[in-house]
Amino acid sequence: MSGQKLLFDCGPATTHKLVKAGISPTEVDDVFFTHHHFDHDSDFPTFILTRWDQNIPVDRPLNVYGPLLTDRFTNGIIDEDTGLFAHDWLARVHHPASQATYQARGGQLPRRKPNVVVREIGPGDVVDGDGWRVIASHAEHVQPYLDSLAYRVEAEGRSIVLTGDTRPCSSITELARGADVLMMMCWETHARMSDNEELSASSSIRGAAQTAAEAGAKQLVMVHVGPRLREPKMAAARDAEAAEVFDGQVVWGEEMMEIALA
């Protein structure tokens, strides 16, 4: 697993944030999508094309995994005949000036098109990598409009579960059983979300904390946190709601945060 990087979802500015964090897109060979809401996938054209453009002189395939629509979405970006960005890579492959730039970076002609391998997966599917594996499970979000998956990453005897967007459900609890880290969507307080339909598609503080408690997860990382909960004045209240049902460590995720496995 050493040195390998897996990317889960690719929402707005992901490529920019990766570079800001000191990670080149060329270091990532495996991308997993939880679902295809734009806040989880809209930076993928930038990611694919930057990785392809800079992946010199090595040409490793980009493996893309995700639920239904992942193939149509990915090939909708790069397919030679129908992809919205095919004109870009075709111009870079064929124009002499672009070829010269490519060679100056160490590339050898003829330049190859983006090498992207898509595999649509579903609950129970397992992706085996070099020293790691990723298990997919069902997430309950906005079906039947979009399929959603959650993932459990296992490597070197450790485990991290990323729920994507979901409401609490048994498949998530089972996936998170005994996990070292559960990264779960947490949008608002339970009381606020009980006033409307949001609980049918998303998780509250209490929902995430209850899932972590029932699964026996060691650490709960709240992600996809709603704007009101990120206000400083909400710090005590959000901690208190989580602590009502989960006595493990709770981390409130923020942009660019790095979390070391304890």
The DSSP letter of residue 103 is: H
Q: Distance between CA 75 and CA 82 in Å, rounded?
A: 8
Q: How many CB atoms lie under 10 A from the CB of residue 250?
A: 19
Q: Return the number of the residue (37 or 152) whose C-beta is nearest Zn ion.
A: 37
The interface region with Zn ion, picked from 15-23, 25-33, 35-43, 85-93 by CB under 5 A, is: 35-43
Angle between helices 70-78 and 44-54 (to 10 degrees): 50
Degrees to nearest 5, angle at CA 109 with 107 and 112: 85
Instruction: Specify which residues 159 forms β-bridges with.
Output: 154
Cα(123)–Cα(262) distance, rounded to whole angstroms? 28
Q: Where are the beta strands (DSSP E) in the chain?
A: 5-8, 28-32, 62-66, 116-120, 126-128, 132-138, 149-155, 158-162, 181-185, 219-223, 249-252
140 binds Zn ion (CB under 5 A): no
Region 55-114 residues binding Zn ion, contact defined as CB under 5 A: none
Number of residues lying near Zn ion (CB under 5 A):
2
Q: How far apart are CB 201 and Zn ion at their closest, in Å?
A: 8
Nearer to Zn ion, 35 or 92 (CB): 35
> Does position 37 bind Zn ion by CB under 5 A?
yes
Asked whether position 36 contacts Zn ion by CB under 5 A, the answer is no
CA distance 30 to 62: 6
Of 14-22, 32-40, 76-84, 226-234, which part binds Zn ion (CB under 5 A)? Answer: 32-40
Closer by beta carbon to Zn ion, 149 or else 155? 149
- Burial of 4 per CB tally in 10 Å (0-12, 13-18, 19+): middle
The residue to which tokens 């998530």 are assigned: 172
Closest contact distance (angstroms) between CB of 187 and Zn ion is: 10
Instruction: Give the binding range for Zn ion (CB under 5 A) out of 33-41, 96-104, 118-126, 237-245.
Output: 33-41
Stretch that binds Zn ion, among 31-39, 50-58, 166-174, 226-234 (CB under 5 A): 31-39
Least distance to Zn ion, CB of residue 198, Å: 12
CB distance 187 to 39 below 8 Å: no
Closest CA to 1 of 126, 129, 127: 129
Quote the least distance from Cβ 219 to Zn ion, whole Å.
Answer: 23
CB of 146 to Zn ion, least distance (A): 7
For the bound state, the minimum distance from the C-beta of residue 136 to Zn ion, rounded and expressed in Å, comes to: 16
- Give whichever of 49 and 184 is closer to Zn ion, judged by the CB atom: 184
Footprint of Zn ion on residues 153-212 (CB under 5 A)?
165
Q: Which stretch binds Zn ion (CB under 5 A): 30-38, 79-87, 109-117, 118-126?
A: 30-38
Q: Which residues bind Zn ion (CB under 5 A)?
A: 37, 165
